[in-house]
Amino acid sequence: MKTWFKTLVSSCALIPFAACALNPGDNIAQAREPAATTATTTKVKPALWAVKDDDTTIYLLGTVHVLKPGLSWFDGAVRQAFDKSDELVLELVLPEDQAEAAKVTIPLAMDTSGKTLPQKLEPDALKAYQTVLTGLGLPANAFDAFEPWFAAVTLSVLPLTKLGYDPNQGVEKQLTAAAKTANKPISGFETLEEQLGFFDTLPEAGQVAFLNSTVKDIDKLGPTLDKMVLLWGKGDTVSLAATMNESMVTTPELTKTLLWDRNARWADQIKARMDKPGTVFVAVGAGHLAGENSVQDYLKARGLKAKRVQ
């Protein structure tokens, strides 16, 4: 499961959305109650790049979508770059109104095949899946009417909140709040419909494999994310890429869909933005800025150099 999770947590802004908005019932809200945390603060220095020409600067920050409280990352070079910027660009701008988000999400997440989720699982897989649900304080039928990808994405997040990870501490959430305070425009490379569609268009077999693998190693979610956050905080994109490569070998189609194809499209958008003067702060999942076929690689192919500034 760690292979799916590494790709998901470092590439999709749906991570905080799954914890905060993809909520088919009050029981899920109870299950995602965060664990108590201490007030200690740890200073970290995530990687930051800049792409420049005569009258345009675009900063690139790799993010983690959920974090534990107490990490001091929004200072130093990152804060300076943000303060210099005229606008903020994220993977997508999540709706603040959960009702509006639900209008987009539910039609995609609901199953229309006539089969319930349990009917798509083998007996042993169904038993393991329902055991995980009840262990998280959810009813065994919580996602019966939904597609497997929806259950998998949500189950990838709920255990993390019990381990102290908080979507409201995620990098995008904090950057968004700061941008609103400073009256900076906020936009996204993608829409919510597009990012949901990456999962919704997976074949049923792939969605079931995603869910089964999530269930299988659900107890390893915390240690996996702990490691990735550690590497992110050190700005160690080489090791982060090596960690991500474990996912890429076993899930090439998912990697292409969630990382490489999107990186290429974002590089096109960044290149187009370089034609206008100004300073832009771009923040996307750290997996997009690490390793082979990163956003920086696609920018280089388009004649733009991303220089590491932290």
Name the percent of the chain lying above pLDDT 90: 60
With a cut of 50, say whether residue 108 has pLDDT above it: yes
Q: State the CB neighbour count (10 A cutoff) for residue 293.
A: 17
Q: Which two tokens stand for residue 59?
A: 């900063």
Question: How do residues 229-280 score in pLDDT, each as one tens digit?
Answer: 999 999 999 998 888 766 566 667 777 888 899 999 999 999 999 999 999 9
Structure confidence at residue 86 (pLDDT) = 98
Question: How do residues 156-177 score in pLDDT, each as one tens digit?
Answer: 888 888 889 888 899 999 999 9
Residues 147-160, mean pLDDT to the nearest whole number = 89
Structure confidence at residue 10 (pLDDT) = 62
With a cut of 70, say whether residue 155 has pLDDT above it: yes
Strand partners, 96: none
Question: Which pTM does this prediction carry?
Answer: 0.89
Average pLDDT of the chain? 87
Structure confidence at residue 258 (pLDDT) = 82
Secondary structure string (H, E, C) spanning the chain? CHHHHHHHHCCCCHHHHHHHCCCCCHHHHHHCCCCCCCCCCEECCCCEEEEECCCEEEEEEEECCCECCCEECCCHHHHHHHHHCCEEEEEECCCCCHHHHHHHHHHHHECCCCCCCHHHCCHHHHHHHHHHHHHCCCCCCCCCCECHHHHHHHHCCHHHHHCCCEHHHCHHHHHHHHHHHCCCCEEEEECHHHHHHHHHCCCHHHHHHHHHHHHHCHHHHHHHHHHHHHHHHHCCHHHHHHHHHHHHHHCHHHHHHHHHHHHHHHHHHHHHHCCCCEEEEEEEEHHHHCCCCCHHHHHHHCCCCEEECC
Question: How do residues 193-238 score in pLDDT, each as one tens digit?
Answer: 998 898 899 889 989 988 998 899 899 888 888 999 999 999 999 9
With a cut of 50, say whether residue 35 has pLDDT above it: no
Q: Which two tokens stand for residue 125?
A: 């897989």
Map out the domains of the chain as residue ranges: 2-308
